[in-house]
Amino acid sequence: MALRYSAPMRPRQTVPTLWLVTDQRTDAALERALRQLPRGAGVIFRHYHLSAPARGARFRALARLARHRDFTLAWSGPAREARRLGAGACYGPPAVLSSGPALMRLVTAHSLAEIGAARRARASAVLLSPVYPTRSHSGARALGAVRFRLLAARSPVGAIALGGMDPRRARALGAWGWAAIDGLSGSVHRKKEARIPEDS
């Protein structure tokens, strides 16, 4: 479930290969979803809809459950914010994660150029997206399986597939790791697999 990472981080820190991404749509079922995740998985906390104080409070509440389940809880934001909140990782684009303390960095990328930027940002893992079309980013061009694999092969660290992912698609893709919102949340928003997922 995790990859040993040898860049400047705390000793024995590992990068999970399975990540639940949070957002407003899945908040009501979030604690239940976390209890259904396997131990050692990761959780990317976004919750952009909340004010700064409420967002921090929600993060700290989830952190207690994350510690109990041995999850890595990632804060979407700069490394300094993540460290201050006690997060195990930070998440975002290369420009946001290019500075700050040594911490597990989950860097988003959509192209070869951004993979290069992720390398310079000291990425621990790269989240490549969107692999498949999603309703939340209906105008974004999907990478598709072939382009995802080509980009993943150029990544200096593990590439995590994001965008329309579920267990079946992740297995078919052969991704090193994968992340999802509805695909892992058990959300009431999730419908038949045939629909276009909302993850991004």
Q: What is the CATH number of the domain that holds 131?
A: 3.20.20.70
User: Is residue 77 situated within a structural domain?
Assistant: yes
**Alpha helix ranges (H) inside the chain:** 30-36, 52-68, 79-85, 94-97, 112-120, 144-154, 167-173, 182-185
Q: What is the chain's pLDDT, residue by residue, as a tens digit (200 residues)?
A: 444 333 333 334 689 999 999 988 888 888 888 988 999 999 999 999 999 999 999 999 999 889 989 999 999 999 999 999 999 999 999 999 999 999 999 999 999 999 999 999 999 999 999 999 876 656 678 999 999 999 999 999 999 999 999 889 999 999 999 999 877 765 433 433 333 344 54
User: Is residue 195 situated within a structural domain?
Assistant: no
Measured distance CA(99)–CA(89) in Å, rounded:
14
- Do 119 and 154 form a contact (C-beta atoms < 8 A)? no
DSSP state of 87: -
User: Is residue 190 situated within a structural domain?
Assistant: no
The total number of structural domains that make up the chain: 1
CA separation (Å) from 131 to 67, 110, 143? 30, 9, 5
Enter the pTM of the model: 0.84
User: Is residue 192 situated within a structural domain?
Assistant: no
